[in-house]
């Protein structure tokens, strides 16, 4: 498969922080990189990355990428993580967007390889991840001094873009939780399912955001060892501050929804208990006249009140009075 078929979003070579050339194939980029000694920025977009085996092998050979990282990049479905293979960093980040129409959170998956003279991004969810890569390009445009510090500047741009894009997700989830609270106290019957669905989304959001705190911490700890400049170090710390705030909000949402689930379960149990009490009360009310009727309906010749003139109206009155009496007792106890 050609690189164009794979979905080549970015295939540029930068020299001293300035765009030197853009190319249509990986082979052209490799040649330009050898000729200029610059930095390659490659971003591939393809939902079915299994079809890109040849291109990944080409990248692995050119930049000496570890086979385990290539396997992860090919298969996808990875958790957010940071790993180091020699001089190459391998990161997985999980972008997210809030879908207003569906009121759902959709997640992407970007695999990043960061080396001495290259940055490679492989997108597994094109309609989500591509926009983050495009914004990352815009973010570094006009910043040659920053870009000249090396491929980790591109990594900063990607991380900053992904973290900034979490803000609309936070707002959407916050609004959904407000709606759920109103539905919960209004007694809407379908709210339990919505709480559970939103709880699952928030849990997935935590899995996407919380590992970034450790990832950025690892990058900052290695900044001096691997020659990351002070300006880039400051920018990475700023991203870390933002993701900490996002993760804290996600934790708050998780706690709120846990409480909402517990409250909804209590309300449902209370409703079921009220129904059980009501059924039991009416069963007792109806049982009493049935019992009296059964006694008076026994076919024995020798029975008290068998030939009593007022026996029939007395039995009916007794049934009515006991039924009304039990109804009053259950009403006072709020079973009815």
Could you read off the pLDDT of 270-328 as tens digits, one per residue? Answer: 766 666 767 777 777 777 777 777 766 666 566 676 667 666 677 777 777 877 877 77
Q: Which of 159, 137, 260 is nearest to 208 (CA)?
A: 159
Q: 163-178: string of b/e by CB count within 10 Å (b at 16+)?
A: bebbeebbebbeebbe
Q: Is the sign of the CA dihedral 212, 215, 217, 220 positive or negative?
A: negative
Distance of alpha carbon 233 from alpha carbon 239, whole angstroms: 10
Q: Give the residues across from 107 on adjacent strands.
A: 96
What's the average model confidence in pLDDT over 184-188? 78
DSSP string of 81-146, one letter each residue = EEEEETTEEEEEE--EEEETTTTEEEE--EEEEE-SSEEEEEESSHHHHHHHHHHHHHHHTT-HHH
The domains found in the chain, sorted by start residue, are: 1-142 (3.30.460.20), 269-332 (1.20.58.340)
Q: pLDDT (tens digit, 9 = 90+) per residue, 107-140?
A: 999 999 999 999 999 988 877 888 888 889 888 8
Q: The whole model's pTM is what?
A: 0.77
Positions of E strands within the chain: 8-15, 18-22, 39-45, 81-85, 88-93, 96-99, 104-107, 110-114, 118-123
As a whole number of angstroms, the longest Cα–Cα distance in the chain is: 123
Q: Kindly give, in sequence order, each residue whose CB lies less than 8 Å from that of residue 8, ignoring residues fewer than 6 positions away.
A: 24, 25, 26, 42, 43, 44, 45
Beta-strand relationship, 96-99 and 8-15: unpaired
């Amino acid at each position: 498969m050609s690189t164009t078929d794979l979905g080549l979003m970015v295939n540029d070579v930068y020299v001293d922080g300035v765009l030197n050339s853009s190319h249509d194939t990986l082979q052209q980029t490799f040649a330009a990189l050898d000729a200029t000694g610059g930095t390659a920025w490659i971003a591939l977009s393809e939902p079915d990355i299994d079809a890109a085996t040849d291109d990944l092998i080409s990248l692995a050979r050119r930049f000496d990428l570890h086979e385990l990282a290539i396997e992860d990049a090919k298969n996808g479905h990875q958790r957010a993580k940071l790993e180091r293979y020699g001089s190459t960093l391998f990161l997985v980040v999980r972008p997210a967007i809030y879908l207003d129409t569906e009121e759902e959170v959709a997640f992407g998956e970007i695999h990043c390889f960061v080396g001495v003279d290259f940055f490679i991004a492989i997108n597994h969810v094109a309609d989500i991840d591509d926009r983050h890569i495009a914004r990352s390009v815009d973010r570094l445009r006009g910043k040659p001094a920053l870009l000249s510090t090396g491929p980790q500047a591109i990594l900063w741009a990607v991380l900053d873009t992904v973290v900034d894009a979490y803000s609309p997700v936070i707002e959407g989830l916050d609004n959904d939780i407000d709606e759920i609270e109103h539905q919960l106290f209004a007694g809407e019957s379908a709210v339990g399912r919505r709480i559970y669905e939103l709880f699952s989304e928030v849990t997935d959001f935590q899995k996407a955001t919380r590992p970034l705190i450790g990832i950025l911490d690892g990058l900052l700890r290695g900044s001096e060892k691997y020659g990351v400049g002070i300006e880039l170090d400051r920018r990475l710390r700023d991203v870390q501050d933002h993701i900490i705030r996002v993760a804290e909000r996600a934790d708050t949402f998780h706690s709120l929804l846990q409480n909402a689930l517990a409250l909804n379960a209590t309300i449902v149990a209370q409703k079921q208990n009220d129904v059980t009490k009501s059924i039991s009360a009416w069963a007792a009310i109806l049982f009493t006249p049935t019992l009296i009727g059964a006694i008076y309906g026994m076919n024995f010749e020798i029975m008290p009140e068998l030939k009593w003139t007022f026996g029939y109206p007395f039995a009916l009155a007794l049934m009515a009075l006991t039924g009304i009496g039990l109804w009053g007792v259950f009403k006072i106890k709020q079973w009815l």
